[in-house]
Amino acid sequence: MTLPVHDTADHIYATGLRNQWHPVVPSSFVTPGAMRKVTALGEQWLLFRRSDGTLSMLADRCPHRGAPLSLGKHLGDRVACWYHGVEVETDGTVSSVPGLPGCNLEGKKLVTSLPVREVGGAVLAYFGDERHPEPAELTLPEPLTDPEVDAILCYAEWNGPWRFAVENLLDPMHGAFLHHESHTMYNGDTTAKFRIRETDRGYFFEKTDQRGVNFDWVELCRTGVDWVDLTIPYPPSAGPGGPFGIVGMVCPVDEDRTGVFFWRYRRVRGWQRDTWRFLYKTLIEERHWQVLEQDRVMLEAMPADADQRENLYQHDLGVVRLRRMYRAEAVAQASPA
Amino acid sequence: MTTTWPYLDVHQSRTHEPTPYEYKLAATLEEVFTKEGHELADVVRGLNARQVHAPDGAPWTEESFRAEMNRLGA
Ligand code: FES
Ligand SMILES: [Fe+2]
């Protein structure tokens, strides 16, 4: 049992596509031996970590009468509901009903438990619906697995629909305007022609006449989890290693809230890696943050129906392609098999 | 660990507020990278020319710079 299949296409589009992996929160949000309540895809969940570090994710709903398990007690390898003490194991099985020993709830798997993986400091979970409980194959972004590449996660929570955050990433042209007063995107033309280039895992949306100057291209990758890859040049002050890249992922929290995950990465090793990390922590992270705040301020100020009354032009092809794809998938996931 | 929405933290990679020495070293490194180049030898020469030394006051060598970056950046 996972997410219900009776959801409408509108609900799925608003709260995130099913049958794929999504990031949830940074790993550090759930310390060993702790529990944390989280919202994702419009539902309440409980992240539960054993003291040995093993992580599990359960629906935050007691199988007895629906109280939040997150108000309960961490018992090491299971959680006890606060309301009447029902105990649930990390795979969702009821292990004990203290008020009525031998009750037929015992031994039944009554709580949804999602497959989880921890990647680059973030928790990823597979959100299957009732027809697709088995986790989709997950291919991780190469910048997060390549030993030649060093990545540092930045996580933030924004008040806006998840799809606005993804659309923002498929819209490189905003770099030259919204981020014009930044340490990395002050350069390059404010006019451009774009093209879409299909790949076997998604598509590129890229300028045809400028590369390596500003935010000039982005690749949408659908590899079990949706993510984008892009690069932005660093000024010479950032030292060796060339441009920095971003792997971006988005958590659809609910209809109007989003968790954004940005791994800033660079092809550096040895002293070059150490020096980049030192500069990043000391000076660069804060500058990146100011750029990200520009995105947040703009996206949070967008009206909820912004995408209902638009006049699009050539720079918006990447967004149009994205919406068509997500829309079609939401419709397919909502319709009966 | 905060549990209130929204989580908006400027500094997520730091373990401590940088010391005055770390700030000065970082700012000087940016200048050196801009004006001198990106090779290790450029960096060591540039820092020493600016009299920005290691905490023990000794001029940098390639070895001491590597070790310090490893300590501060790992
Ligand atoms: S609601 Fe949880 S034990 Fe009754
Ligand atoms: Fe942006």
Q: Tell me, yes or no, if the pTM score tops 0.80.
A: yes
Could you count the other beta carbons within 10 Å of the beta carbon of residue B2? 9
User: What is residue A313's three-state secondary structure?
Assistant: coil
On whether residue B26 sits in a domain, the answer given is: yes
Q: What pLDDT score was predicted for residue B1?
A: 59
| Contacts with B34 (C-beta within 8 Å, 6 or more apart), sequence order | A235, A236, A237
Q: What pLDDT score was predicted for residue A236?
A: 96
CA distance A222 to A227: 7
Q: Where are the domains of chain A?
A: 20-127, 142-332
Tell whether B16 is within 8 A of chain A (Cβ).
no
User: What is residue A292's three-state secondary structure?
Assistant: helix
Tell whether A32 is within 8 A of chain B (Cβ).
no
On whether residue B57 sits in a domain, the answer given is: yes
Average pLDDT score over chain B: 95
B28-57 per-position pLDDT tens digit: 999 999 999 999 999 999 999 999 998 899
Q: What pLDDT score was predicted for residue A1?
A: 46
pLDDT by position in tens, chain A (length 337): 467 777 899 999 999 999 999 999 999 999 999 999 999 999 999 999 999 999 999 999 999 999 999 999 999 999 999 999 999 999 999 999 999 999 999 999 999 999 999 999 999 999 999 899 999 999 999 999 999 999 999 999 999 999 999 999 999 999 999 999 988 888 889 899 999 999 999 999 999 999 999 999 999 999 999 999 999 999 999 999 999 999 999 999 999 999 999 999 999 999 999 999 999 999 999 999 999 999 999 999 999 999 999 999 999 999 999 999 999 999 999 977 5
Could you count the other beta carbons within 10 Å of the beta carbon of residue A189? 13
Cβ A81 under 6 angstroms from ligand 1: yes
Distance A95 CA to ligand 1 centre (A): 13
On whether residue B3 sits in a domain, the answer given is: no
CA distance A268 to A217: 21
On whether residue B9 sits in a domain, the answer given is: no
Is A271:B66 a contact under the CB 8 Å cutoff? yes
Beta bridge partners of A197: A204
User: What is the separation of C-alpha A286 from the centre of its chain, rounded to a whole number of angstroms?
Assistant: 22
On whether residue B44 sits in a domain, the answer given is: yes
Average pLDDT score over chain A: 96
CA distance A92 to A107: 10
CATH of span A142-332: 3.90.380.10
Is A76:A50 a contact under the CB 8 Å cutoff? yes
Q: What pLDDT score was predicted for residue A337?
A: 58
Report the number of distinct structural domains present in chain B.
1
Is A160:A306 a contact under the CB 8 Å cutoff? no
Tell whether B63 is within 8 A of chain A (Cβ).
no
Q: What pLDDT score was predicted for residue B2?
A: 67
Q: Which atom of ligand 1 is nearest to the CA of A72?
A: 2
| Contacts with A232 (C-beta within 8 Å, 6 or more apart), sequence order | A175, A184, A185, A214, A215, A243, A244, A245, A246
On whether residue B14 sits in a domain, the answer given is: no
CATH of span A20-127: 2.102.10.10
Is A175:A232 a contact under the CB 8 Å cutoff? yes
Q: Look up the domain containing B36 and give its range.
A: 20-73
Which runs of E-coded beta strand occur in chain A? Answer: 20-26, 35-40, 43-49, 55-59, 73-74, 78-80, 87-89, 94-96, 113-114, 116-119, 122-127, 150-158, 194-199, 202-207, 217-222, 226-232, 244-254, 257-266
Judge whether residue B70 has pLDDT over 80. yes
User: What radius of gyration, in Å, describes the C-alpha atoms of chain A?
Assistant: 22
Distance A185 CA to ligand 2 centre (A): 10
- Largest distance between two CA atoms of chain B: 48
Please report the ipTM that was assigned to this predicted complex. Answer: 0.98
Distance A12 CA to ligand 2 centre (A): 25
User: What is residue A227's three-state secondary structure?
Assistant: strand
CB nearest B33 (choices: A152, A236, A285): A236
